[in-house]
Structure 1
């Protein structure tokens, strides 16, 4: 129920919202199952590896990685630690300020994402892309950009907090070459 100043959703708005809510669960489950079976990665692992692989030198500040994934500091920090234990990423101190840390894709992480990508792309095509017309894909992309832009200021604020607190998140030792 809504308060007197909050208008209730119209039937068309409610239909759109409920379909979006419904899609999140089953689509994520299907894609996660495919990734796990084919490569041992979760969709969260895959997302981090993709973002890092598309960055310059396969490395980003943790705050920027959080902004690009839309993850909060705690989730990102815990997940990066798990991925680091598996040899997919490593943390590096920021040489310019000594406080922050970079998250870097390891050679094993790059090999893993390159091996996982073809099967994942096939699944994304099968479950989403190939079911939509080019016009529907354009509209879906526009909708995603519009909603994401509205959320960006909140995500940016959370990621700025992450950059300020990174120094406390470097408890896992970074392996050194040699």
Structure 2
């Protein structure tokens, strides 16, 4: 007995999206397949739940508008992560400009958002790890999040962030050292 193609297979979803009669259903399936992964990726970058939801909504609006132009030169997953990463970084930059804060002030702002989250307990290791991550410079934080939480290979990360794998490995190495040092502090 042969199994039918899964309705959430990326090639099938892309083909269905191109057909006017199945476009909305295909898009709904894409959202169902990737929404949670993208949400947590964005949430780790911006910390705040409401901000993450707003950014994710913008991501899916862009996906809806540009999916017809997707050239399939990378995986759909990689393309979606690139959009989510860029939207998150754009949001962070707008927040910095809006608040007219220096980078270090902005990073302490992220830490303050983290501390305001429901259930925050600075003594718990998971919260201390989040504080350590938020203390990283933006590029190192992004690389650390993609590698540590999403277990994204450097090659995929290179596509998402459009930089060399060597630079990513160096950024991740420095980020890990900084996180380790932060976690050793009392």
TM-score normalised per structure 2: 0.28
Question: Which structure features the higher share of helix residues?
Answer: 2
TM-score normalised per structure 1: 0.29
Question: Which structure features the higher share of strand residues?
Answer: 1
